[in-house]
Amino acid sequence: MTSLAASTDFGDITSFVNFGVLGLVVLCLVTGWLWTKPSVDRLEKERDRAIAEREKAEAQRDAMAQVLQERLLPVVGDFITTTRSLLPILQQLQQLQQMIPILQAFLQQQGGEWRNEPPPPPRPPPQRRRRSGS
């Protein structure tokens, strides 16, 4: 003689019908159609925690947006203005740097060598010697 529990496959949903109302309650609990009080409390706590995290994230987002508007945007505006002012100067500097090899070649063709040294100091004027009279 086999027992009913040994021959029942719990994977088959129709086997719970053999247990009557108790089987339907277990089936509802397993599938999620019926909830127990601890599961409801756990879900409420999880929902409250998620809401608190969302509010905290929104507060951080608002604080970052305020810092962005008050501090970062003026700095970026000043940077753009400074860059616009310096751009023509930097372009002229680049053009002058491109002319250096041309000027060096020109000086070498003229027979002199271009050096990056200061000119020698001027000579002092010659002194007149006095003749000693005898």
In which domain, by residue range, is 9 found?
A: 1-34
**Separation of alpha carbons 134 and 121, rounded Å:** 39
Looking at the structure, do residues 61 and 72 belong to the same domain, yes or no?
yes
Looking at the structure, do residues 26 and 49 belong to the same domain, yes or no?
no
Looking at the structure, do residues 30 and 84 belong to the same domain, yes or no?
no
CA distance readout (Å), 128 to 15, 78, 107, 125, 131: 136, 66, 39, 9, 9
Structural domains in the chain (count): 2
The top-scoring range by mean pLDDT among 40-44, 86-90, 119-123 is: 86-90
Looking at the structure, do residues 58 and 18 belong to the same domain, yes or no?
no
Secondary structure (DSSP) of 54-93: HHHHHHHHHHHHHHIIIIIHHHHHHHHHHHHHHHHHHHHH
Looking at the structure, do residues 6 and 44 belong to the same domain, yes or no?
no
**Separation of alpha carbons 60 and 68, rounded Å:** 12
Looking at the structure, do residues 86 and 75 belong to the same domain, yes or no?
yes
Q: pLDDT of 44-66, one tens digit each?
A: 899 999 999 999 999 999 999 99
pTM for the whole structure: 0.38
